[in-house]
């Protein structure tokens, strides 16, 4: 009786060791959509750069109202479903494929409201660097591109 309990216990531990890490590795990352960040910049995603792994999710949260998060189509990797969140709504990006992803807040893109998500390796870095965002969006995007991890 005692032995079978020990075996059962040992089996449970072994199964947990095999099964749990597969779920534990998928992380949820939060990006806030804000009127002002801690540094005093206006109309921002915070953070403006997020590094995640394939299988993770990135949740965009409307900490302040009247923002949204959606794909910048010009540089969105082919074969990946675009993201288009409603105004003042949460939206989740399922990071499944490696690469760099640029999202914007539609009404504030001209004010530089842009965010860069790196999933695994930056396989499309050249395309992202070639993309000509305008005005403050370009300045902010260049700043985020400088944070990309090779
Ligand atoms: Cu906005």
Predicted confidence (pLDDT) per residue in 20-49, tens digit: 555 567 899 999 999 999 899 999 999 999
Mark the binding-site residues, compressed into ranges.
67, 105, 108, 113
What pLDDT was estimated at residue 137?
Answer: 96
Reduced 3-state DSSP string for the chain = CHHHHHHHHHHHHHHHHHHHHHHHCCCEEEEEEEEECCCCCEEEEECCEEEECCCCEEEEECCCCCCCCEECHHHCCCCCCCCECCCCCCEEEECCCCEEEEEECHHHHHHCCEEEEEECCCCCHHHHHHCCCCHHHHHHHHHHHCCCCC
Distance 27 CA to ligand 1 centre (A): 25
Distance 109 CA to ligand 1 centre (A): 7
Residues with CB under 5 A from ligand 1 (ion): 67, 105, 108, 113
Residue boundaries of the structural domains of the chain:
26-145
Q: For 109-137, what is the mean pLDDT?
A: 96
**CATH number for region 26-145:** 2.60.40.420
Distance 87 CA to ligand 1 centre (A): 9
Mark the binding-site residues for Cu cation, compressed into ranges.
67, 105, 108, 113
What pLDDT was estimated at residue 103?
Answer: 98
What global pTM score does this model have? Answer: 0.84
């Amino acid at each position: 009786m005692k032995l079978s309990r020990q075996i059962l216990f040992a089996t449970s531990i072994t199964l947990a060791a095999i099964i749990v890490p597969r779920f534990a590795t998928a992380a949820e990352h939060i990006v806030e959509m804000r009127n002002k960040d801690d540094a005093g910049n206006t109309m921002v995603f915070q953070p403006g750069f997020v590094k995640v792994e394939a299988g993770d999710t990135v949740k965009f949260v409307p900490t302040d109202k009247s923002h949204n998060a959606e794909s910048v189509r010009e540089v969105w990797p082919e074969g990946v479903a675009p993201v288009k969140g409603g105004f003042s709504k949460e939206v989740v990006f399922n990071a499944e494929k490696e690469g760099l992803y640029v999202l914007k807040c539609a009404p504030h893109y001209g004010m530089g409201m842009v965010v860069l998500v790196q999933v695994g390796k930056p396989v499309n870095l050249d395309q992202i660097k070639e993309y000509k965002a305008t005005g403050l969006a370009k300045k902010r995007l260049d700043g985020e591109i400088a944070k990309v991890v090779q």
